[in-house]
Structure 1
Amino acid sequence: MKTKRVSKTTTISLPPGLYQEAMELARAKGMTRSELFREALRRYQRDEQEWQDLLAYGRRKAKLAGIRSEADVERLVDAGRK
């Protein structure tokens, strides 16, 4: 009886130097290449989500403060420096 694979396989292309760095990192951490790239993708996704959350927070705060343009930001920075 065949078991259904729960993961998908993909191929990526890397410049030789980056490939070598990845292999050395995987070896140093005791990880397989797949584990290394899965972890890298998870971290990227987490960091991207945190960045988007931070941007949304900044937009909300700017809206509450009446900041609508870069000129408004510059004006506030200049006023804060005086």
Structure 2
Amino acid sequence: MMKSSVKKFICEWVPFSTDTEVYTQETFEELVGDEFEAMVFADEDHDIPSYIWTTNYVCRIKRSTRMINDISIEKIPRNPACS
């Protein structure tokens, strides 16, 4: 049976950081080339969002912790064109 959980969408930017970078709304928008709309955190214990919605993308934030705490961002088109 598939479990469903509803996460709380946050419509105001919440700054977050890794060991190497501080992400403000301005730096994130410049990085992805799109405007912020909302974010969601996996749970209250996480300080880095799991997903960030922009005007044209859903950005999946992947954590990586080898030597340092860092992230990668996967941009997924919100309205893909299907033919």
Give the TM-score taking structure 2 as reference length.
0.24
Q: Which protein has greater RCO, CA pairs closer than 8 Å, 6+ apart?
A: 2
Tell which structure's C-alpha radius of gyration is larger. 1
